[in-house]
Every structure is written in C-alpha cells, then in structure tokens.
Structure 1
Amino acid sequence: MNCSRKLNGTLVSLRSNFTRKTRSYCTGDGYDNVESSKVLIFDRHLKRKQRDRAAWLINRKDSLVNTVADNLLDRLEDVKKTFPTTLCLGGSLEAIRRSLRGRGGIEKLIMMDSSDEMVKLCKDAEKDFASDNIETSFLVGDEEFLPIKENSVDLVLSCLSLHWTNDLPGAMIQSRLALKPDGLFLGAIFGGETLKELRIACTIAHMEREGGVSPRISPLAQVRDAGNLLTRAGFTLPGVDVDEYQVRYNSALELIEHLRAMGETNALVNRVKFLKRDTALATAAVYESMFAAEDGTIPATFQVIYMTGWKEHESQQKAKRRGSATVSFKDIQKEFGGQTS
C-alpha cells in the first residue's frame, strides 16, 4: 500500500491512506428487523485456523487496525469513571494492548481469543508493556460461549471480532452478563459497506465467467441495525457511530494479503472452497478497470461501526415518564419563535 495522510497541515507518510467520513447516531428504541441467528453462517473452526495464520502474518504497523483500536479506546477518555477489571475479546488484541496507554484506569486485563496462536503472540508481546503495571492474563475462548463469570468485569472491549459470530445478539448478551452493574461495553465491527468495491468486482466476474454468483464475502451488519443490537442485548444508554476508511493498494492481490494478515478472509459455511483461476483474474481486472485511480492504485472501503452500551444501574439517567413535561412546544415557539440566530 502506497499512501499518505495529512495531520495538522503536515504530510505524514503512512503505510495506508484513509479518507474518513463520520456520522453519529443517538439510539433509542432501535429497529425491529434484526433477528438472532438460528443457522450457522460462519465456520468457526475455519475462522480459528485463519486467525492462527494471521498470528504469523500480522503487521504491527497496520494503520487500519491501529486506527480502529485507537478510536475505540478514545471513548474511554470521554468517561469519568475507571474500569479496574477489563475483558478484551478477540479481533485486534495486540493493537488494543499497544493503544491502551493508561486509558480507562485498567488494573487487570483479560485478553481472550479463539486462536491459540493469537493468544501466544499476545503473551510474547506482553514484555514490551511491563511498564504499564497492568496485571494481564490470557485465555483461549469463543465469543459465542463466553467463559467469564457474570458480574465479574467492569469493561468489555471487542475490536473487530464479533462480526464473525453466528449469533451476534447472543454474544452481546453474554458480554452484558459478564459486566458488573454500570459496566461498559465498547465494540467495533465491520459494517455492510466494507469491501463494497470487491463485492461488485466479484459479482461481475462470477456472472461473466461462471454464469452465476457464489458467496465470496461475508454478510455484515448494517448501521441501521446496530442500535437495535445493543437494545436487544439489554444495554442502556446505547450509542452508535460510524467511520469509513479508504485504504489504497497497489493491486487486488495486495488487498487479499492484507485481509489474510487481519484474519478477515472468507469463513462462510456455504462458501465455494476453490476459486477458479479465470474468475480470480477476471475479478482483479474488473476491480482495476472500475475503481483504479490515476496513479494505478485501487481503493478498498472499510466501514467500521462503533457501539457503546452500559449495563443497567440505578445511578444512570432514565427517560422521563411520557406526558410528564411541564413546558409545551407551543410555549417554546412563542418564547423563541420570533428570534433569529
């Protein structure tokens, strides 16, 4: 990847270049169209093997992963309370560990991943963070069957892992149960606009070469569903916001290698296990012809949905009873309607 990023008016060289678009949503009752997964969508055994491989391919200077981890942890700086005991679930474990930098007042950190190799990687890297004075433990476990006692942690962090669970609402419910009252859940998952360019190129290439479409890229949650996921999982004060990052690559092959290093390759149960050479070449050609920039690089969009939710506690703000307002909108309009800004 050959890119750059502007920071405070100075051009800083980075491995990846991001064009960031941000939208914020305040979620209330949420949406009604999210259903718990009752079928197997993802092959969890294959996903563990992919994450084992990613542990050997991981790039600690991956700007996309590091930026997402840093943005997720930035939310801790907006909260006055501390989180002595924290559980970190899968995904970008090592990037989260490097980005902590004292945020959240964390004293005990449990790092969990379904991949034994990824856990070993984090153990080996822990010596680099000895000065943090954080008591760190490691656990091999599955986000779908969380091996954590109820009411035992103050904070649950999940950075780019839960979008591979077959029952996302169920995994979030387990995270809420693990939290103490007034505990915080912070999650980041890839959203439905992720890799939209690759989806288009794959679809066209499959239609042209094979006369039909086969699943090559996993389904992902939509932004409109994220608020309802939090509400259905029982979190209070839910909040959702979205970032879009555009990473530029020298070729489609470089994009695929990046996905492998992140452990983000296809793990659908109904996937086509072998991609024909002609179809692969056609996908790369379509991608380049439709999306290539003047300098020859190709863009890939990564949409990241950030979710925030609290476990219920009596000290939290609560909505007023319907009809309890003492001032009407008509009174407000009479008071301020004639004023101009």
Structure 2
Amino acid sequence: MKLPSDTAPSLFDRAVLALHRSRVRDEALFLHRAAVDEVQDRLSMVNKTFKAPAVVTPFPHIWEGLWPEARVIRDEDVLDLTPGEHDLLIHAMALHWANDPVGQLIQCHRALKSDGLLLAVCLGGDTLQELRAALGQAEIEVTGGLSPRIAPMAELRDLGGLLQRAGLALPVADKATLSAEYRDLLHLMRDLRAMGETNALADRLKHATRRAVFDKAQDIYAGHYKSPQGRLAATFELICLTGWAPDDSQPKPLRPGSAKMRLADALGTDEGKLPD
C-alpha cells in the first residue's frame, strides 16, 4: 500500500536531521519535557483507561518513564505501526520535522483501535519568530538576498485542519506559548543546536554564512526583542492536537432540519421579531 509520505516532497534532509539529533544534550530538551507536561494535562481530563499506548518520538528516554508498557516508535517518514493496534497514540515533538504531516496523522489514525485517541504535540508558527525576523532582515541588508534558515511551521488553524483531513473525529487544536531568554544570539543558537532543532531544510545554504550576517542579526534582535533584564527573548509555541478514531459511541452533530424546537420558541419571541 502506498502511503502519502511516498510521494511527498522532501522539505527536510532527514540524514542531516539525524546527525543533528545525535549531538543533542539531554539537559537542553526542555521543550520535550514541556510536551510531556502538556500531554499529561490533557490525558488527566480524559475519562478513559488506555491499555495499548504508543509514542512516536525521536528521544525515547523522555517518555519511557511515563508509560513503561508503551511501544516507542521512531519518527520516520513511514512509521513502524501496526493497523488497529493502539488505543492511545502520542506523536511527540516531531510533526514539525515531517516531510508529510498529513501522512503522519493518517498513519497514526490507521494504527488506532476504534475510539482510540491521537494526541500530537509539535512546534507551531510563532516559534522563534524573533530569530526569524532578525536573521531575515540581517541577511537582506548584508547580502541582498534571503536563504531558507528556519523551517516553516504551521499555524494553529492549519494544524487543526490536518486532523480532519486525516479522518479523525472530534478534532481539537490548542496551544501553549513558552518564553526563554538568552545572553545573545550565539547563546540561543548553541541552545538550538543542543536540542537538535537547527536547520535541516533540504534547500538550506551548503556553505558557511558570513559573520557580518550574524553580527547584524544580533543588533536587530537586541534592538527589537530585548527583555527587561537586557537579554534576548525567544518564543516557543507548542501546539497540541487531539483527535479520535471514529466510533459509533461518539457524539454526532444533528442533521440539518432535525431540530425538535423552533428557534423563535427557544428564544421566547415571535418568529418575525427575532432579536438582532
């Protein structure tokens, strides 16, 4: 069977991404630990016991302590999932690196039992907005051009739409915004390297960037995004997606025309004099 990811364009160089992840320092994975908190918070509101969980993650050790019985799966283009095997599937901090995000969600849907829950956490469009603006302006001013440096990340509404395209029921998308502060641009970029979140775009520059670009970006960043403490502020947006494998037990929207009461009666007014 051909999966959507078989024909998706390669936005990311997965070999470079794997190399970046091999150099990760555990203490820098604070975004992944924040994702754990977001998942636990949402699961605490679900009145259901899950007996066959799975986690898609590039860093298994972050999640293995939470659910020792969970199956841990690497976030490859084609996920090592068995159809209908799991009642809970967590896609953890990897969807923003997927060449085919819809394909990833479709694969997860296929792996769920009826009424199984998919919970995905990824970085959203406001992530590193300050760095994106400063580097872009600096590169234009210094070189006269603009190169791909920070991966395009989807907005909340777009990601919510992916759940519906993947065939999941009761889709919900929400977000949590985190802020961090850094001494300077170099400090921020070193932290991104330590968490494996540096540039792995297939169309990235293949040669070193001129030092003048980074010097200019530091000036722009400090001029526009300095915190009250004199440090550089950086935004990280975590988007959380939840959707269920369809099941007859789930609530269904009413069919048009099936209402048993007229709107005028519900509002206690004449039909011809509805309130504005």
- Kindly state the Cα deviation for residue 225 of structure 1 after the two structures are TM-superposed: 0.7
Structure 2 matches for 1:131-142, cutoff 5 A?
142=76
Alignment of 1:264-275 (within 5 A): 264-273=197-206, 274-275=208-209
What is the identity, as a one-letter code, of the residue corresponding to 2:146? V
Task: Mark the CA change 1:73 to 1:37 in structure 2 (over 3 Å): closer, same or farther.
Answer: farther
Structure 2: distance between partners of 1:89 and 1:107: 14
The offset of 1:64, in angstroms, is 3.7
Q: d(CA) in 2 for partners of 1:328 and 1:110?
A: 51
Equivalent residues in 2 for 1:1-341, closer than 5 Å: 38-54=8-24, 57-59=25-27, 62-91=29-58, 93-98=60-65, 100=66, 108-113=69-74, 142=76, 144-273=77-206, 274-334=208-268
Kindly indicate whether the alpha-carbon contact (under 8 Å) linking 1:42 and 1:165 is maintained by their aligned counterparts in 2. yes
Partner Cα distance (1:64, 1:42) in 2: 20
Q: Quote the offset at 1:107 in angstroms.
A: 6.6
Q: Structure 1 pair 284/145, CA: closer, same or farther in 2 (3 Å)?
A: same
Q: Which runs of 5+ in 2 are unaligned?
A: 1-5, 270-276
Identity fraction in percent: 36
Task: Tell which deviates more after alignment, 273-282 or 86-95.
Answer: 86-95
Give the secondary structure class of the aligned counterpart of 2:212.
helix
Amino acid aligned to 1:40: S
Quickly say closer, same or farther: Cα 1:324–1:195, change in 2 above 3 A: same
C-alpha deviation, 1:58, in angstroms: 1.9
Shift of 1:37: 7.9
Check the 8 A contact 2:179/2:236 in 1, yes or no.
yes
- How far has the Cα of 1:323 moved from its partner? 1.0
User: Following the alignment from structure 1 to structure 2, what is the Cα–Cα distance between the partners of residues 269 and 253?
Assistant: 23
Distance in 2, Cα, partners of 1:201 & 1:40: 26
Provide the rounded CA distance (Å) in 2 between the counterparts of 1:168 and 1:316: 25
Q: How far does residue 63 in structure 1 lie from its aligned partner after superposition?
A: 4.3
Is 1:227–1:239's contact at 8 Å kept on the other side of the alignment?
Answer: yes
Report Cα offsets for 1:210-266 as digits up to 9, x if no partner. 011111100011112122100000100111111111111122222112212221111
Q: Distance in 2 between matches of 1:52 and 1:113?
A: 13
Q: 1:37 to 1:324 in 2, by over 3 A?
A: farther
Q: List runs of 5+ in structure 1 lacking aligned partners.
A: 1-35, 101-105, 115-141, 336-341
CA contact (8 A) 2:181 2:227 kept: no
Letter in 1 for 2:255: R
TM-score, scaled relative to structure 2:
0.89
User: What letter corresponds to residue 71 of structure 2 in structure 1?
Assistant: I
For the 8 Å contact 1:227–1:240, the answer to whether it is kept is yes
| TM-score calculated relative to the size of structure 1 | 0.73
**Distance in 2 (alpha carbons) for counterparts of 1:236 and 1:174:** 15
For the structure 1 residues 85 and 254, does the alpha-carbon distance in structure 2 shift closer, same or farther, using more than 3 Å as the test?
A: same
The answer (yes or no) to whether the contact 1:151–1:178 under 8 Å persists in 2 is yes
Q: Deviations over 1:60-86 (max 9, x none)?
A: 7x5443222211221111111111111
* 1:285 Cα offset (Å): 2.1
Question: Which residue identity does 1:256 align to in structure 2?
Answer: M
What is the Cα deviation at residue 182 of structure 1?
0.9
Query: 8 Å contact 1:238–1:308 — kept in the other structure?
Result: yes
Distance 1:277 1:82 in 2: 54
Counterpart amino acid of residue 44 in structure 1: R
Change (3 A) 1:217 1:107: closer
1:124 matched to which residue of 2? none
Q: How many residues matched?
A: 263
| Native 8 Å contact 1:190 1:220 kept in 2 | yes
